[in-house]
């Protein structure tokens, strides 16, 4: 998902949530995607996919609300509005636990034009205050609320596909608090309650960890390794970090002769947070 480039927004609904109102404003029909509106939300989605602060997450299971709705939407796009209502009501239920009073949730179904795969976009859009001038003279400026421009990074969003136990992550998300003193229920609402997912390390984080911790381990064990072992391990990690797959155990077996040292090296990486010894590295970073 993080390699998505060209997209086309296919369907869109926007729900209004106000904790002071008796009922949420759940969209009953799709938005008419004019050229301007389509471009506006496609820019938001592209910015979400490419966000440097985006993280990756795994749904808690295939029966979670968002995963279930995403699966149905993708398989049968004509159910989009119906499933969008389910997502809107689910979000409203979770927002009731939050201290935030008002927000909007944009639910979009879009296609990756390079692969023809469909994805679900969930954009939490906190309204921005603006002023428009109506007429002339004193009091001509009227305060209105508008959706944030694509140049403003959204604090919370999710780009999702249905749960798949054969892939490492199902969701690209951002869960940035609105302030330093944001209450715990609001902070945990997006990922834990609404998405029902848990964060997993990104390919970039794992690639950085292996490269940096390998160098530290080599420096600490320089006296106990011969020069060939040191150079082979260092060059193998750097080279394979730019390929389709990096296998830490295979690298260690090929480069480090002593079994105890191999176990120490792999153990260090695991202790530092590596969750998989074989993974697809971030070649762009490497």
Residue 93 sits at φ, ψ, to 5 deg, of -65, -40
The reported pLDDT for the residue numbered 285 is 84
| % the chain with pLDDT above 70 | 100
Contact between 42 and 7 under an 8 Å Cβ cutoff? The reply is yes
Residue that is written with structure tokens 């989009």 in the block: 80
Cα separation, 158 vs 123, in Å, equals 7
Query: What does the alpha-carbon distance between residue 140 and residue 134 come to, in Å, rounded to a whole number?
Result: 5
Average pLDDT over the chain, rounded to an integer: 92
Q: Could you read off the pLDDT of 211-224 as tens digits, one per residue? A: 999 999 999 998 89
**Residue 190 confidence class, pLDDT cut points 50, 70, 90:** very high
Phi, psi of 270 (to 5 degrees): -65, -40
Q: Is the pLDDT of residue 81 over 90?
A: yes
Give pLDDT, residue 205.
87
Q: How far apart are CA 96 and CA 188, in angstroms?
A: 13
Confidence class for position 135, pLDDT limits 50, 70, 90: confident
Determine the length of the chain.
Answer: 286
Decide: 232 and 239 in contact? Cβ < 8 Å.
no
Section 170-176 average pLDDT: 95
Please report the pLDDT score of residue 19 as a whole number: 87
Q: What DSSP string describes 65-127?
A: HHHHHHHHHHH-GGGHHHHHHHHHHHHHHHHTTSS--EEEEEEEEEEETTT--EEEEEEEE--
75 pLDDT above the threshold of 80:
yes
């Amino acid at each position: 998902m993080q390699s998505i480039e060209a997209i086309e927004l296919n369907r869109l609904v926007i729900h209004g949530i106000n904790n002071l109102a008796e009922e949420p404003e759940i969209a009953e029909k799709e938005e008419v995607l004019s050229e301007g509106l389509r471009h506006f939300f496609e820019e938001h989605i592209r910015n979400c996919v490419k966000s440097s602060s985006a993280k990756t997450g795994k749904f808690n299971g295939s029966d979670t609300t968002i995963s279930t709705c995403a699966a149905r939407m993708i398989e049968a796009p004509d159910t989009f509005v119906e499933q969008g209502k389910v997502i809107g009501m689910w979000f409203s239920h979770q927002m009731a636990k939050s201290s935030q009073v008002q927000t909007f949730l944009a639910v979009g179904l879009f296609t990756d034009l390079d692969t023809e795969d469909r994805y679900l976009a969930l954009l939490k859009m906190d309204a921005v205050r603006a002023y428009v001038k109506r007429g002339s003279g004193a009091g001509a400026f009227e305060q209105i609320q508008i959706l944030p421009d694509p140049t403003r990074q959204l604090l919370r969003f999710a780009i999702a596909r249905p749960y798949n136990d054969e892939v490492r992550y199902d969701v690209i998300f951002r869960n940035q608090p609105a302030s330093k003193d944001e209450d715990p229920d609001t902070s945990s609402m997006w990922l834990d309650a609404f998405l029902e997912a848990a964060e997993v390390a990104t390919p970039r984080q794992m690639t950085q960890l292996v490269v940096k911790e390998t160098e530290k381990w080599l420096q600490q064990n320089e006296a106990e390794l011969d020069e060939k072992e040191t150079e082979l391990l260092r060059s193998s990690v750097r080279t394979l970090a730019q390929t389709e797959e990096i296998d830490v155990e295979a690298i260690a077996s090929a480069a480090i002769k002593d079994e105890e040292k191999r176990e120490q090296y792999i153990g260090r990486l695991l202790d530092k947070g590596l969750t998989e010894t074989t993974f697809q590295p971030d070649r762009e970073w490497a």
